[in-house]
A and B are shown apart, each in its own frame.
Chain A
């Protein structure tokens, strides 16, 4: 397993962020779009050395459990997510929910991780299926983070209590 730890995730990660920033549109993207752009870019970069990354990812039998080989990446990614979540919360794109909000980063990490595992096993032409998965799962995750029916429902309940007086 030692060889797995040799991955220089921070180099890949930094390159992905740098490539994202090269695109003039990136700065103007919403948090959701930034996450999409990041994932696509990240996948492009690891595609350059596809065999190395797929064979590593395929070895990981149990996903979603703390994995020493991915720990560095998780930390970097979480840091990136924190800024995105802050940005999204300020713009109103993401709902800051008490207590639950602490798990947003973990949710995004799991989304990213499932994309990575899928990518490693994707046999479609040019890994197009992964593109579809990225699109759908990022939209899904951000829909959970976005203000929605539960938030307005809770708001209503709170107000009903106030209005009863």
Chain B
């Protein structure tokens, strides 16, 4: 039988909307139930309530697929944007399967490249070997080389906007915030997601970043084939390697783990500090490890470019002479939209303290030449920081929605990087030369 899984994915706006509506009803019902329980029994577990809602939301997201799932994952990546229970739920959804019929695969090729897959490759497997949220991966051969061919689901790119608008109210209700306070962030999400659906852009990014980082040892970026790619089709070299998570779970030799961690950190540091443009989606599913312990980077769909001005004021905070100088610190924080002119004293005190604490945590690894990321205390501090912000009611006020939109993806990248390094228990060398180039 051909794959019929796709029948279950509602593409029409009405179908999607009805799904969203049903879920919000259920979440509302859970909320009433929860409050009723609370009235009788004061010790009702808040986590259990969150968990119940996360389950509903998760069910919805996994049915919507595509960009809705991406948004959920994105929010779960930025520690602190969603409570822990939600984050864990969405992280599980990374390998969701759905498949296009063979004829549609052929049709997509004819539409975008003008030829059927067996005309441009020596061989091509119509059944996908791997499925992700916006596309699926096929195996192909050409000139004796094994290739990975990524194919995007039809209609995904077009539904991003309506998807975001549909899940937005749901998220706002969960977090108890107003739309206008977070509009900028959702616009940023939309921009990144739209970009992620443009495979031509991804190809350019991959080739560009590969060139920037070619001197980084133990790093492999697959070769991309421009002539075999189009807006919805991406052909790249197939590299036989094991998933990073599997490597983390099974590898015993700490030296090998350090080597992988070093490659990952160098890869990101070079692109962030030298080019201000980086792979902004470092979750374990995007990396593979070869037999000789080299790091393979996949998926350049989410690449973030940060403005120079933002970069300077952000990383200046790592410098002691800036951090310890209240005047300079204030300039930086205002630039990053953490402090605003006209804030009341209490608001300012709150944000000042939070920002200082966050900077201290995040910049810790950049203060020495080598850093041990397996330190549980350091990792817990990073984690608890987000939870703390989330639990503090002060941060739900309209004035509390702040921080430059560029920071979202930078934080996400650092948080993803540090999480992987923690799991690798890695000790890595930090090239701190970038600090000398920053002057404010």
Contacts and interface: CB of A to CB of B under 8 A. Distances in A.
A131 B112 CA distance: 13
Contacts of A32: 1-2, 101
Contact of A37 (B106, B111, B154, B158): B106
Contacts of A39: 103
A135 B101 contact: yes
Contacts of B101: 32-33, 36, 135, 139
With most chain A CB atoms within 10 A of its CB, the pick from B103, B104, B111, B154 is B103
A125 B118 contact: no
B155 A33 contact: no
B6 interface: yes
B158 A124 contact: yes
Nearest to B101: A36
A30 B4 CA distance: 13
Interface stretch (A2-10, A21-29, A72-80, A153-161): A21-29
B102 interface: yes
Contacts of B157: 125
Which size bracket describes the interface of B in this complex? 20 to 34
A41 B314 CA distance: 54
Contact of A140 (B7, B100, B106): B7
Contacts of A30: 1-2
Interface in B154-172: 154-155, 157-158
Nearest to A93: B1
Contacts of A151: none
Contacts of B126: 25
Given A25-B126, A30-B2, A125 B158 contact: yes
Nearest to B156: A128
B97 interface: no
B102 A25 contact: yes
A59 interface: no
B100 A135 contact: yes
Nearest to A34: B103
A115 to B, nearest CB: 13
Q: Chain B: interface secondary structure?
A: helix
Contacts of B4: 139, 143
B132 interface: no
Contact of B158 (A129, A139, A140): A129
A126 interface: yes
A40 interface: yes
A149 interface: no
B7 A37 contact: no
A122 to B, nearest CB: 11
Interface string A134-152: 1110011001000000000
A136 B1 contact: no
Contacts of B100: 135
B107 A23 contact: no
Contacts of A23: 106, 116, 118
B7 A40 contact: no
Interface in A34-92: 36-37, 39-41, 44
B397 interface: no
Contacts of A11: none
Contacts of B1: 30, 32, 93
A40 B2 CA distance: 16
Contacts of B110: 40, 44
A37 B118 CA distance: 15
A21 to B, nearest CB: 12
Which size bracket describes the interface of A in this complex? 20 to 34
B103 A37 contact: yes
B155 A128 contact: yes
A15 to B, nearest CB: 14
B154 A143 contact: no
A1 interface: no
Interface string B108-125: 101110001010000000
Contacts of B112: 126
B2 A44 contact: no
A132 interface: yes
B11 interface: yes
B104 A40 contact: yes
Contacts of B118: 23-25
Given A25-B126, A129-B155, A132-B155, A139 B6 contact: yes
Given A124-B155, A128-B155, A135 B104 contact: yes
Contact of A132 (B103, B111, B116, B154): B154
Contacts of A29: 102-103
A129 B102 CA distance: 17
B107 A132 contact: no
Interface string B227-258: 00000000000000000000000000000000
B11 A136 contact: yes
B154 A128 contact: yes
Contacts of A139: 4, 6-7, 101
15 contacts: A25-B102, A30-B2, A32-B1, A33-B102, A37-B102, A40-B104, A41-B107, A131-B104, A131-B155, A132-B11, A134-B104, A135-B100, A139-B7, A139-B101, A143-B7
Given A32-B101, A125-B158, 5 more contacts: A40-B110, A129-B155, A135-B6, A136-B6, A139-B6
By Cβ-Cβ distance, the 7 closest A-B pairs, closest first, are A37-B103, A40-B107, A36-B103, A128-B154, A131-B154, A132-B155, A139-B7
